[in-house]
Chains A and B, each alone.
Chain A
Amino acid sequence: MAVARRGVHRTRWIKLQVFRYVTFALAGIFFLVPLLSMVEFSTRANSGGGRTLDFWKAIFTYPELIDWNFGPAPDASVNASLELALVTSVAMLVLLVPTMVWVRLKLRRLTRVLEFICLLPLTIPAIVLVVGLFPMYVWLGTNVSDSILTLGFAYVVLVLPYCYRALDAGLGAIDVKTLSEAARSLGASWFSVMWRVIVPNISNAILNALLLSVALVLGEYTVANNLLYNNLQVELVHLQRTSAGTSIAVAVASLLFAFVLLMILAFIGGRGRREFREEAVTKLGTGPVLGSAG
């Protein structure tokens, strides 16, 4: 009987493994074929049918693309997109984390309202958002600054739904109220509660929110183009008209950059979890983990 049951389990296991590998292979083909095609196109020589890295080299010499001097008023599109990603991420975290914690602690009845507000941008098409934002940006450009970094205001709104969901999951996994009250009773200011207690315990959620925010900003086109700013995606479209090869090379490079960024963030998050586990195991010493000593 037991042998028969083991046989059934083994058959199921083999089927599951086959299903996994087939799915993985199909997904790989789905993602890799366009990428390889782009690489192939961006390395194709104009004449003679050989291979060249000219389009890739052009990325670094194209003045509208990269300026190695990063500053507060970026002209180059890569600089602009990177700085916007930074500004948007920081602004989003500073705005969203304390607000969400405060609502959980003191204004529970506003939870649904906050959720509705944060998810609202999902339902508004980007072009409608641009129409609404245009007068504000005209005023900003005239009276405050016409720097591309002012796009950060619009981008914070755009990333709200995704970051809200990521942070909400993190905050839902800890007892915010009890941890905050424990910290307060031990003499912590509200800043210390946030910085020393809440943030370390939702670090993975913050990393996820950062990742989503950076990815969205690096890939944003509609708002920047319609508000007449020149970010990476807008520049890519311009490039496409003048040098298709360079534009594809930049597209592949930006995808690789996003991929590396994703790996770095995942590595940071994973290392945090792994260190926690390893430290826990080494420090465990002898004796049962769950003693009956109470």
Chain B
Amino acid sequence: MSERAGVEVRLENLVRRYGTVTALDGLSLTIAPGELVALLGPSGCGKTTALRLLAGLEQSDEGRVIVAGEDVTDLPANKRNIGMVFQAYSLFPHMVAWENVAFGLQMRHVGAAERKKRALDMLELVGLGSHANRYANQMSGGQQQRVALARALAIHPQVLLLDEPLSALDAKVRSRLRDEIRRVQLEVGITTLFVTHDQEEALAIADRVGVMQAGKLEQLGPPTTVYSRPATPFVADFVGLTNRLAGNVKNGVVEVRGTQIPLVQPDVADGPATALVRPEAVTLVGNGDSAGGPLVGTVIAVAFLGAVSRVTVDLGDTTVLAQLPTADAGNHPAGSKVRLALRPDPVLIDRHD
């Protein structure tokens, strides 16, 4: 598999309109060879449209699609050599798994023996060698999507497109298949664009994450940067949870209820603003411990999330979410008084409130 080096993909100023609605509004994006970029955003933000334009399943109104230095904007989908896994189960129901995988090779006039061998190899790659003779309706959703992945890779595509391939699966299978996709992608070394509305999925799998809103790319960067240094309030809100706390900006620092917090973008005018504080930047101690922080509140709910728990604290005029290890959250049952402090991690401010 290693002979297949990825290629560079460039989307240049793509515009796509549906009547009066602009689904993509000048999207530009460069994906490095072998890189996995995840496009993340709410429904209708244009991420699937971008993917379909790259696949050739739709035509852009403006802009260009460049794959491996070649302008493929006007090429139909069947001439682009791009593999795709769809959100809906897309295996051909009248074919068994290996015939599905071999379909693309048949379209490329590969000999019968060779295409069966390659199809079986691809099924082995996704761990379904023993399912080669099963029909789609004899496989689980996760198995079907793995066969679809093998089918997309069997044609040796230049680019792999994944259109929310995990969204129809249950949580456990989704998590396992997500890791499987990443393993296969790294093994094959193929340039990949992954579209999802699930932030956890995007952050876990991608080399870079692009957050989209209203047809535009709000931010593109490594998952840690997108999470910890969101470029816009929308990104901060969409990726992870945020507390919106009133504060006052002065000299590149925002003061929130007595705590001075540095800003991600310090070059802003002084004045009132809403600070966007992550729940994990909020710490809690019992009310009796005065070192716990200047703010006092009442715990109104504790949500158990496994290793961590999310505690909702009522400060009187607002509520604050704090995320802490479940073992610590056990010390703060609903109804208990707590002291609360804000860790001075750099935050973003929003002045639209």
Is the CB of B202 closer than 8 A to any CB of chain A?
no
- From residue A101, how far is it (CB to closest CB) to chain B in Å? 15
| A181-B57, A188-B78, A192-B107 given; A294·B133 CB < 8 A | no
Q: Which residues of chain B have C-beta atoms less than 8 A from A182's C-beta?
A: 84, 86, 90, 92, 148, 151
Cβ B107 vs Cβ A291 within 8 A: no
Query: What are the residues of chain A within 8 A of B90 when measuring CB–CB?
Result: 175, 178-179, 181-182
Q: How far, in whole Å, are A175 and B180 apart by their CA atoms in the complex?
A: 26
Smallest CB gap from A189: residue in B: B78
- State whether the Cβ of B352 lies closer than 8 Å to any Cβ in chain A: no
A255 to B228 Cα, complex, angstroms: 78
B138 touches A294 (CB 8 A): no
Instruction: Flag if A185 contacts B173 (CB, 8 Å).
Output: no
In the complex, how many angstroms separate the beta carbon of B198 from the nearest chain A beta carbon? Answer: 16
Cross-chain contact B83 with A185 (CB below 8 angstroms): yes
Known: A187-B78, A188-B78. Is A292-B103 also a contact (CB below 8 A)?
A: no
Q: Which of B42-82 contact A (CB under 8 A)?
A: 55-57, 76-82
Q: Which of A4-28 contact B (CB under 8 A)?
A: none
Closest A residue by C-beta to B84: A185
A294 touches B143 (CB 8 A): yes
Residue of chain B at shortest CB distance from A190: B78
CA–CA, A293 and B78, complex, Å: 32
Q: Which of A178, A196, A291 contacts B140 (CB 8 A)?
A: A291
Contact between A290 and B92 (Cβ–Cβ < 8 Å)? no
Please give me the residue from chain A that is nearest to B175 by CB atom. Answer: A294
Say whether A294 contacts B155, CB under 8 Å: no
B351 touches A (CB below 8 Å) = no
Contact across chains for A185 and B152 when beta carbons are under 8 A apart: yes
Q: Does B330 touch A at the CB level, under 8 Å?
A: no
Task: Tell me if A284 and B138 are in contact (CB < 8 A).
Answer: yes
Most chain B beta-carbon neighbours within 10 Å: one of A175, A201, A293: A293
With a cutoff of 8 Å between Cβ atoms, the chain A residues found around residue B230 in the complex are: none
Whether A276 is near chain B, meaning CB under 8 Å from some CB there, is yes
CB B170 to nearest CB in A, in angstroms, measures 8
Q: Which residues of A contact B215 (CB under 8 A)?
A: none
Interface 0/1 of B159-199, CB less than 8 Å to A? 00100000001001110110010000000000000000000
Within 8 A of B (CB), among A245-293: 276, 280, 283-285, 287, 289-293
Residues of A within 8 A of B57 (CB): 181, 184-185
- Closest A residue to B81 by beta carbon equals A187
Q: Does A183 have its Cβ within 8 Å of any Cβ on chain B? A: yes
B80 smallest CB distance to A (angstroms): 8
Instruction: Specify the chain A residue showing the minimal Cβ separation from B180.
Output: A294
Q: Which of A183, A187, A284 contacts B108 (CB 8 A)?
A: A187
- Contact A185-B77, Cβ < 8 Å, known A192-B107, A294-B142: yes
Cα–Cα, bound, A254→B107 (Å): 45
**Residues of chain A contacted by B84 (CB below 8 angstroms):** 181-182, 185
Q: Are B88 and A187 in contact (CB under 8 A)?
A: no
Does A66 belong to the interface (CB within 8 Å)? Answer: no
Instruction: Please pick, from A179, A189, A280, A291, the residue contacting B143 in the complex, using a CB distance under 8 A.
Output: A291
- Whether A110 sits at the interface, judged by CB under 8 Å, is no
CA distance A290 to B340 in the complex (A): 49
Chain B residues with a Cβ closer than 8 Å to the other chain, count: 49
Residue B127 lies at the interface, judged by CB distance under 8 Å to chain A: yes
Partner of A186, one of B89, B103, B140, B141: B103
Question: Does A174 touch B at the CB level, under 8 Å?
Answer: yes
Kindly identify which residue among B134, B151, B172 contacts A294, using a CB–CB cutoff of 8 Å.
Answer: B172
- Collect the chain A residues with CB atoms within 8 Å of residue B130's CB: 285, 287
Chain A residues within 8 Å of B135, by CB:
276, 280
B93 within 8 A of partner (CB)? yes
Checking B86, B94, B151 against A181 with a beta-carbon cut-off of 8 angstroms, the contacting residue is B86
Instruction: Answer whether residue B96 sits at the interface, using C-beta atoms and an 8 A cutoff.
Output: yes
Does A293 contact B103, Cβ atoms closer than 8 Å? no
Contact of B138 among A185, A201, A289 (CB under 8 A): A289
> Would you call A294 and B173 a contact (CB within 8 A)?
yes
Does B6 count as interface, using CB distance less than 8 angstroms?
Answer: no
Chain B residues, Cβ within 8 Å of A280: 134-135, 137-138
> How many whole Å from A122's CB to the nearest CB in chain B?
32
- Whole-angstrom distance between the alpha carbons of A293 and B81 in the complex? 30
Residue B34, interface by CB 8 Å:
no
A5 vs B282: C-alpha distance in the bound complex, in angstroms?
62
10 A-B pairs with the lowest CB-CB distances in the bound complex, closest first: A294-B142, A294-B173, A186-B104, A187-B107, A283-B133, A182-B90, A184-B77, A185-B84, A200-B94, A178-B88
Interface residues of A (CB under 8 A from B): 174-175, 178-179, 181-189, 192, 196-197, 200-201, 276, 280, 283-285, 287, 289-294
**Sample (19) of A-B pairs whose CB atoms are under 8 Å apart:** A178-B90, A179-B90, A181-B77, A184-B77, A185-B77, A185-B161, A186-B107, A187-B79, A187-B81, A188-B103, A276-B135, A289-B134, A291-B140, A291-B143, A292-B173, A294-B143, A294-B174, A294-B176, A294-B177
Identify 18 new A-B residue pairs, CB closer than 8 A, beyond the known A179-B92, A276-B94, A290-B140. Answer: A174-B93, A175-B88, A175-B90, A182-B86, A183-B103, A184-B78, A185-B56, A185-B77, A185-B82, A185-B161, A186-B83, A197-B92, A280-B135, A289-B134, A290-B139, A291-B140, A293-B143, A294-B180
